[in-house]
Chains A and B, each alone.
Chain A
């Protein structure tokens, strides 16, 4: 890549070695089992420096709307939005894959009939977003955005192609491991979350400050989908499975048979 192609300056960026040293130093000081979420204050991810609150969040008991989630349904989306390979008049290039899993709450109950949104880069690691200008091809057969509703068991299911890794400018020669962004709602607004799903065995894992901002190794492992050969379809698509656990809920669920 030439410097002219970069909207942000190349010179002055830290090296991967420097970032890795910071990542490993934080990891050495971490007491295992004490965290499950990413740190908001994670200096190796340079964009977080001025964008993390420095004061502890204020504890509050949820009330009113916070105890309910927005409702989505058939009015909001078409079933076809769950297949990211059929959004254009040609098929996308790349490894076709089926991605499925369950969304459950903190008590293990399925989150039913709720919205799941995903977005991702194409097989070459390029996002269709205007801000992604790195020299990898756009794919006229692929947008990289999908939606579906979970079923009665909390299951979601998408057909897509496997995204590629892509370069970014957190530091020199920074590359994100391949990932798919997920946006999730629960039964209460306090369960709202956005996260990223990764693929098994990615060699970029140790080097990536966004993945490593989840300092707990077991919590990071839960962000990685599992290859599932039973889901793989002959002559058609590979299969990956990834389950998501939301926080809460707070309301006592008294509906009979709710499990």
Chain B
């Protein structure tokens, strides 16, 4: 018999001295060749910014390779080493910002943690021109919540935890209710 997965719990309000690390949101050095921002605002069901969320980004490199490289937590020592993983906390305005490269794939994988959110959420931030079978089967208004928009420095991906523009969150096979 398979063991039963352990229950998740909220990240709470006090992760700020534990989960962030130096240069956590800079998967590449800002200003380096090919560097873009992936940024946005996390909002609650009333449209108010969520100032105590932390997002994780996990992505392939610009050529579409999923790198298997350690060193994310000590990025300051080797800033040019791309690991594909980063964290960004929201500020007082609910805003987050990663510096990274456009992945050689159709989407970034994103997880969301926040005070008041009892378990992590999974989603995908698709490139503006991306298309795949999963996106196609969503109704247009829902689909649009997963697709990034362009701005002057890169891509924008706002996250709505609840409400009319609620982001599509994902469940995978074997993820327990």
Contacts and interface: CB of A to CB of B under 8 A. Distances in A.
A76 B69 CA distance: 11
Contact of B175 (A65, A70, A190, A214): A190
A50 B7 contact: no
Nearest to A179: B9
Interface string B45-58: 11010100000101
B169 A247 contact: no
Given A61-B173, A248-B172, A72 B70 contact: yes
Interface in B136-173: 138, 161-163, 166-173
Interface string B1-25: 0111111111111111111000000
Interface string A36-77: 111110100101111111110111111011101011111111
A194 B113 contact: yes
A246 B5 contact: yes
A193 B176 CA distance: 12
Contacts of B83: 70-71
A139 B135 CA distance: 51
Contacts of A245: 3-6
A222 interface: yes
A190 B105 contact: no
Contacts of B45: 49-51, 54
A15 interface: no
Interface residues of A, number: 81
B170 A60 contact: yes
Interface in B96-113: 103, 105, 107, 109, 111, 113
Interface residues of B, number: 72
Nearest to B13: A131
A40 B117 contact: yes
B161 A108 contact: no
Interface in A210-258: 210-211, 213-214, 216, 218-220, 222-223, 244-250
A38 to B, nearest CB: 4
Contacts of B56: 192
A36 B68 contact: no
A65 B60 contact: yes
Given A210-B9, A213-B118, A219-B7, A248 B66 contact: no
B2 A106 contact: yes
Interface centre among A48, A145, A219 (most CB of B within 10 A): A48
Contacts of A220: 7
B72 interface: yes
B162 A223 contact: no
Contact of A65 (B19, B66, B116): B66
Contacts of B122: 57, 190, 192
Contacts of B119: 37-38, 40, 193
A175 interface: no
Contact of A195 (B6, B66, B85, B167): B6
A59 B172 contact: yes
A28 interface: no
Contacts of A247: 5, 172, 174-176
B61 to A, nearest CB: 10
Given A51-B161, A58-B171, A76-B71, A194 B105 contact: no
Nearest to B81: A75
Given A73-B70, A194-B120, A248-B172, A129 B48 contact: no
A246 B171 CA distance: 14
A58 B168 contact: yes
Contacts of A61: 172-173
Given A59-B170, A181-B9, A194-B10, 8 more contacts: A38-B10, A52-B161, A55-B168, A57-B169, A65-B58, A75-B78, A183-B19, A195-B7
8 contacts: A45-B118, A57-B121, A70-B72, A131-B13, A181-B9, A181-B15, A194-B10, A245-B6
